[in-house]
Each structure stands twice: as structure tokens, then as C-alpha cells.
Structure 1
């Protein structure tokens, strides 16, 4: 599923919202850009995490975590194959067979 707004647009809207004049509401900025207030609020929260202003997982950390989980799943599958092969070979080497 593609994102409906390009990242450059998101960054521009967040920059405008952060640099707004006193008294200008976020809802007005969202309306001016044709987006919903909660969308702008969500973008601002994500930008705060990315910039280190608020704690949270950044996009890079999230990507690394996804890759690590994928690698763990692959290694677990390989481990299961090796475990089964070892069990099979140990049964084949029993005396009397």
C-alpha cells in the first residue's frame, strides 16, 4: 500500500506547523494543506521521534528490527532442519538396522 502523501510534502507540512506564528492552530494549518488534523498530529509525533525530541523507535531502528526478526526466523528454520536431520541420521545409525 503506497502512502497517499510524499515524504517531502509531509516534511514541509511539519516544518510549517512547527514554525507557525503564535495563535495559529494546528487544525488551521491542516485545513490549509487539505489534510485531517489527526494526520498532521501523527506526522508531527513521528517527526519528533525521528528528531530525538521524544522517545520512540525511529524508522531506521524499525527497519533494522524488521530485518533482525526476519533473520531470526530464517535461522530458526535452518536450526529446525538441522535438528531433524540429526535425529534422522542418529536413527539410521542404530544397531540392527
Structure 2
């Protein structure tokens, strides 16, 4: 949960103020993994637009994840959770691309069948 600490009643009497994110933790992790998978080839805005979120939300999640990151092992391996998040983001991207290409494949299939009949 994103919170802001405010001193409303004097020293030592901090109150937690904030709101729960409308996005589940898994979605936020997948969004961060998707941004990182682009390896600098896509902007925050481009990745965020694909996910239907604001660029500032994505930027905040990436920064928060960087701040909480545990140093990788000496061999440069990533944790299982990071790898899973990266794979889920990649899977989501591929499924979306497949849905976008489906109508094109159907049209090309019909066109190929038409020309195959013309050649006979």
C-alpha cells in the first residue's frame, strides 16, 4: 500500500495516510518486468500506454522496485520471482500480439486460397 506519514499531532504521533493502489501487486510487478524487458528501447509512456496506465505510475513502480531490489548473485543470475514476472509479461505481450495478428492471418489465408484456385 502506498502511504504517506504525516505528523498531525506533534512529534511521535505519526499517522499513516494513503490509499490502496487500484492495481494488484502482480500486475505492478509484471508492468515493471515488461518495461525492463524492453531494455531501454521503449519509453515509460509507450509501455504504460500498452497497459492502460499512466507513465508516472509505471515510473514510480520501477523506482520503488529498484529501491527494494536485493543485489543479484555474483554470477548475475536473477531471482525466480523476477524471472517469473519477466516471463509473465512476455507471455502477455505475445498473447496480445497474436490476437492482433489473427484477422490478418485469416485474410491472408482466404487470399491464398483464392489465388490457389486461380492458378489451377
Higher strand residue share: 2
> Looking at CA atoms only, which structure, 1 or 2, has the larger radius of gyration?
1
Higher helix residue share: 1
